[in-house]
Structure 1
Amino acid sequence: MYKNIIFDFDGTLNDSRDFTIATFVGIMKERIKRNFNHYLSKDKREILQEVRTLTFRTLKERFKLNLITFLKTNIRIQELEYQFLVNNSKETVLKELPFYNGMIELTEELKKQGRNIYILSSNKAKVIKYMLKLIGKEDLFIDINGETSLFGKEMKLRTFMSKHKMKKEDTIYIGDESRDAYASKKVGISIASVTWGYANTKVLQLEKPTYICESVKELRKILL
């Protein structure tokens, strides 16, 4: 039984995929149309299905983005997401950015059992905290650490674990991308890769995570 459970946010607790893809397409139209013409006619669902077949590295290569441009684009998406949150009603926000069914309930059960639950995400902490406040769960997690470097989750994870004095054998990370599994394995902790987020099962299997969860029910069996 794991004492410390660290959750990713986007694609793990919250379904931001449609919003992120639509925003990404909009930014690409403005910035690098010459490399993106064949995507402009596609529906965001089609693009999402393609994105889910890519690793983080191949995603960057597919859209012909250098590291700086990729990081700037991600920051821009997060800022636009925050603007969307503060400029729309609770109902509109939760319709566009819903929490996955059963995930908040799972974290509540873990907390009741005395487990330590955290969020470590590449999204901005202010976005995550705003979303949790909308559903009255702003105090559910011990710590919310945002703005993880897209290419440096391993270092951020080590620092985070050191800050909270976590033992490797007592700790598990819950994430939806191959880079989550890569970072967790490098740090030496367990990783549960969930298949309902930004990467599909085939991509997640490449990093050989400790667990692959196809449903919240499967994740519950591991954690509870």
Structure 2
Amino acid sequence: MVKQIIFDFDGTLVDSTEVLMSVFNELADKYKFNKITNADIETLRRMSNLERSRYVNFPLYKVPFIVAEFNLLYSQKIKNVNFFEGIKDVLDELNSLGYKITIISSNSEKNIRDFLNNNNVTIIDEVISSNNLFGKDKVIKKYLKNHSLNKSDVIYVGDEQRDVVACKRTGIKVIWVEWGYDSKEVVLEKEPDYVVSTPEQLLNFFKT
């Protein structure tokens, strides 16, 4: 029986596309990779992470070297990040139903906590940064161990293919939300356990 719900942050709880694009393009100026525009977003949604790195001419192995700078620039624009419509109500109702809610994200813990504080959200039990873009499975495994949780006690809610892959490696169920960054065709290749199209569907999943 599910006791705890782990959420991704960007693309799942919050719509930060414009902020992420702005930060990315600031770094593109400095590190000489290709900028992206709104016209590129739909194309990028249909790509794997490796294809995206080639598209913007920025190798994935360089990502760890700009994470700190990326997080700092993101923090300066945090007031432009907003919950997806209906998501805050979903979180409140899940809390009232007795679920514990955790966020595990590649974004920094500081950025996430600043956002939560700015939006008067106090019901999140824990915020954890995975630091490594592709190391979320290790963070989830550590979380389960630290809290003496069985795999069946937890479910993950995310929007990207890599969220599904991390959960498969960890052995926990994953709900993919259709309103996030990765396209359906990309994510379904990895076979998420459940798919929801709206926040209302997400809430109903936990009510039934």
TM-score using structure 1 length: 0.86
Residue number in structure 1 paired with 2:12: 12
Residue number in structure 2 paired with 1:115: 99
Residue number in structure 2 paired with 1:65: 58
> What residue identity is the alignment partner of 1:171?
V
1:80 aligns with 2:73: yes
> What residue identity is the alignment partner of 1:177?
E
> What residue identity is the alignment partner of 2:91?
T
- Pick aligned residue for 2:84 from 100, 103, 117: 100
Q: Count how many residue pairs are aligned between Structure 1 and Structure 2.
A: 207
1:153/1:14 CA distance change after superposition, 3 Å: same
| Deviation for aligned residue 1:130 | 0.5
Deviations 1:120-149 (A, max 9, x none): 000001100010111111x21111101431
CA RMSD of aligned residues (A): 1.7
Q: Secondary structure at the match of 1:5?
A: strand
1:12-161 superposed matches below 5 A = 12-33=12-33, 36=34, 40=35, 44-85=37-78, 93=79, 96-137=80-121, 139-161=122-144
| Deviation for aligned residue 1:72 | 2.7
Unaligned runs of 5+ in 1: 86-92
Identity, % of aligned positions: 28
Cα distance in 2 for residues equivalent to 1:79 and 1:47: 24
Cα distance in 1 for residues equivalent to 2:137 and 2:191: 16
Unaligned runs of 5+ in 2: none
- Pick aligned residue for 2:197 from 208, 211, 214: 214
CA contact (8 A) 2:50 2:60 kept: no
1:210/1:177 CA distance change after superposition, 3 Å: same
| Deviation for aligned residue 1:68 | 3.8
| Deviation for aligned residue 1:102 | 1.3
CA contact (8 A) 1:120 1:148 kept: no
Cα distance in 2 for residues equivalent to 1:2 and 1:126: 28
